[in-house]
Amino acid sequence: MTALELEQVTVRFGSVVAVDALSLSAAEGQITALIGPNGAGKTTTFNACSGLLRPASGRVTLLGEDVSDLGPAARARKGLGRTFQRLELFDSMTVDENVGLGLESGLAGQSWLRCLTGNRKEAVRVAEAVEESLHTCDITDLAGRRAGELSTGQRRLVELARALAGGFPVLLLDEPSSGLDHEETTRFGQILRSVVTGGRSILLVEHDMDLVLSVCDYLHVLDFGVHVFEGTPAEVQASPVVRAAYLGEEVSESA
């Protein structure tokens, strides 16, 4: 079964077609990347996946279930988590509260009562999820710090930990390495591998080709809202189509 599948998804802004009849899928237990130049429609595609945008046409299938008509919160409760390129943390709250809310948000969505308060069993679940995801992301020492006080690199990890705590089987990560230095990026890649080893699936939008080529199992290439290529990292590197559309002729010259 595929984790996430888009079929013929078209997004328009006014009369501009931002994403044109895009079909792609992310396999379960793998890291799939979505790459393409700026303005190719990657973030738009993500927003269509998570329900922040309603496509003009097309279908979004999550874990075999059609979620096209659901809003963002409902899709999250069906198992789709995401992070944001511009980092959407709860800045005034501590790291462990942030991460805990990753799970509590979904719990709150179950009923009016659950929105007001949780029971003891849930509290234990939340505490366990927080501990585990802080550990996975290796930020246990930040638990008591306020999210707003951290560096970009730390904040990226907190955002990932929050999504992990939510227990989402499918994760959308939007440019997780932007603002990270080389060392942080490498570590981030290792964490992502460990996440999929644990059985989850990741769809990734990313600019850093080193990261993409080293951690991804499969790539989709977008250009001007159109799907132009897909394949393994090796195939993508070898493809002349991709070089023309995305990498450009500049590659060799400035290296």
Partner 1 sequence: MNSLLPFIVAGIAQGSVFGLAALGLVVTYKTSGIFNFGHGAVAAVGAYVFYDLRTIHHWPWPVAAAVCLLVLGPLLGVVQERLAAGLAPVRLAMKVVATVGVVLLVAGITSLHYGASSLDFPPFLPQDTVTLLGVRVSAAQLITLVLSVVVAGALFLLFRVTKVGVAMRGVVDDPTLMGLTGVSPVNVRRSAWIIGSTLAVASGILLAPLTGLDTIQLTLLVVQSFGAAAIGRFTSLPLTFAGGLLIGVGENLLVRFSGDITWLALAQPALPFVVLFVVLLLSKPAVIADAGRLRRAVAPSRTPLSPATRRSAMLAALVVAVVLPSLVGVRIQSFASGLVSATIFLSLGLLVWTSGQVSLCHAGFVAVGATTTGHLLGAGVPWVLAVLVAGLVVVPLGLVIAVPAMRLSGIYLALATLGFGVLLQYLFYNRPFMFGQLGQIAVPRPRASWLGIDPSSDTSFYYVTLVAFLLASGVVYGVLRLRLGRLLQALADSPLALATHGAPVNRIRLLVYGVSAFLAGAAGGLSGALSGTASSAAYSYFSSLTLLAVLALYGTKVGVVPALAAGVALSVVPSYLTSIRGEWFTIVFGASAIVAALVSDRSLSLRLSVGARQRLADRRTSSPTRARLVQP
Partner 2 sequence: MLELQGITVAYGESVVLKDLSLTVPEGRTLALLGANGAGKTTTLRAASGVLKPASGRLLVDGVDLSGAQPYRFAKAGICHVPEGRGVFPSLTVRENLVLQSYRTDSAVAVERAVSAFPRLGQKLAQTAGTMSGGEQQMLALARAYVQQPRVVLLDEVSMGLAPKVVDEIFAFLTRLAEEGVSLLLVEQYVSKALAISDYVAILSRGRLVFLGEPDELAGTDIFAQYLGSAEQVTA
Per 3-state DSSP, what percentage of the chain is helix, strand, and coil (rounded to 5)? 45, 25, 30
User: What CA–CA distance (Å, rounded) separates 167 from 105?
Assistant: 11
The correct pick among 21, 209, 226, 228 for binding partner 2 (CB under 8 A) is: 209
The correct pick among 27, 28, 37, 72 for binding partner 2 (CB under 8 A) is: 37
Instruction: State yes or no: residue 228 binds partner 2 (CB under 8 A).
Output: no
Instruction: State yes or no: residue 247 binds partner 2 (CB under 8 A).
Output: yes
Q: Which does 50 bind (CB under 5 to 8 A by kind): partner 1, partner 2, none?
A: partner 1
In the DSSP assignment, the letter for residue 211 is H
User: What CA–CA distance (Å, rounded) separates 247 from 243?
Assistant: 5
Q: Using the minimum distance from each CB to partner 1, give the nearer residue, 51 or 236.
A: 51
User: What CA–CA distance (Å, rounded) separates 163 from 154?
Assistant: 14
Instruction: State yes or no: residue 38 binds partner 2 (CB under 8 A).
Output: yes
Min CB(140)–partner 2 separation in Å: 27
Give Dmax (Cα) for the chain. Answer: 61
Min CB(102)–partner 1 separation in Å: 6
| CB contact at 8 A, 220 and 227 | yes
Binding mask 154-193 for partner 2 (x = CB under 8 A): ----------------------------------------
Min CB(230)–partner 1 separation in Å: 26
Instruction: State yes or no: residue 155 binds partner 1 (CB under 8 A).
Output: yes
The correct pick among 39, 65, 66, 71 for binding partner 1 (CB under 8 A) is: 71
Q: Which does 135 bind (CB under 5 to 8 A by kind): partner 2, partner 1, none?
A: none
Beta strands in 72-116 (DSSP E): 80-82
Min CB(34)–partner 2 separation in Å: 15
Secondary structure of residue 159 in the 3-state scheme? helix
Q: Using the minimum distance from each CB to partner 1, give the nearer residue, 55 or 219.
A: 55
Beta strands in the chain (DSSP E): 2-13, 16-27, 31-35, 57-62, 65-66, 80-82, 170-174, 201-205, 218-223, 226-231
Pick the closest to residue 192 from 220, 217, 166 (CA basis).
Answer: 217
Which phi and psi angles does 171 have, rounded to 5°?
-120, 135
User: What CA–CA distance (Å, rounded) separates 157 from 38?
Assistant: 24
Instruction: State yes or no: residue 93 binds partner 1 (CB under 8 A).
Output: yes
| CB contact at 8 A, 160 and 99 | no
Given the rule CB under 8 A, which residues bind partner 2?
13-16, 37-40, 207-210, 224, 237, 244, 247-255
Given the rule CB under 8 A, which residues bind partner 1?
50-54, 71-74, 76-77, 81-82, 84, 86, 88-93, 97, 100-102, 104-109, 112, 114-118, 146, 148-152, 155, 162-163, 166, 179
